[in-house]
Chains A and B, each alone.
Chain A
Amino acid sequence: MVTLDKDEHILFEVRKHWFVLATEIFWGFVALVVPIIIFSIASSLPVVFQTSGNAIMLFLFLYTAWLLVVWMIMFVLWTEFYLDVWIVTNKRLIDIEQHGLFSREISTMQLTKIQDVTSEQHGIISTFMNFGELRVQTAGVEKEFVIKNVIDPNTLRKKLDDALSKIRNKESF
Chain B
Amino acid sequence: MNEGISFGIKRIGDVFKISVPISPSVLWATWFILLCAFLFVSWVLVHHWGYYGVKENRKVFAKTIYFVGGIGAMILLAIFIGAYSFIQ
Chain A interface (Cβ < 8 Å from any Cβ of B)? 1-2, 46-54, 57-58, 60-61, 64-65, 67-69, 71-72, 75-76, 78-79, 82-83, 101
Verify if B60 is at the interface (C-beta below 8 Å from A): no
Given contacts A58-B84, A68-B70, A83-B48, 9 further A-B contacts (CB under 8 A): A47-B13, A50-B19, A51-B21, A57-B83, A57-B87, A64-B77, A68-B38, A76-B45, A101-B45
With contacts A2-B53, A75-B62 taken as known, whether A48 is within 8 angstroms of B83 at the C-beta atoms is no
Most buried by B among A1, A50, A51, A53: A53
Residue of B nearest to A98 (CB): B52
Interface pair A1/B53, CB less than 8 Å apart? yes
Interface pair A75/B45, CB less than 8 Å apart? yes
Verify if B22 is at the interface (C-beta below 8 Å from A): yes
A22 to B59: give the CA distance in the assembly, Å.
19
With contacts A52-B22, A54-B87, A82-B54 taken as known, whether A61 is within 8 angstroms of B80 at the C-beta atoms is yes
A1 contacts across to B, CB distance below 8 A? 51-53
Interface pair B13/A48, CB less than 8 Å apart? yes
In the complex, how many residue pairs between chain A and chain B have their CB atoms under 8 Å apart?
101
A103 to B26: give the CA distance in the assembly, Å.
34
A49 contacts across to B, CB distance below 8 A? 18, 20
Residue of A nearest to B76 (CB): A64
Interface pair B73/A64, CB less than 8 Å apart? yes
Minimum distance in angstroms from B30 CB to a CB of chain A: 7
Minimum distance in angstroms from B28 CB to a CB of chain A: 11
Verify if B36 is at the interface (C-beta below 8 Å from A): no
Residue of B nearest to A83 (CB): B52
Minimum distance in angstroms from A95 CB to a CB of chain B: 14
Minimum distance in angstroms from B21 CB to a CB of chain A: 5
A76 to B44: give the CA distance in the assembly, Å.
9
Interface pair B49/A79, CB less than 8 Å apart? yes
Minimum distance in angstroms from A108 CB to a CB of chain B: 16
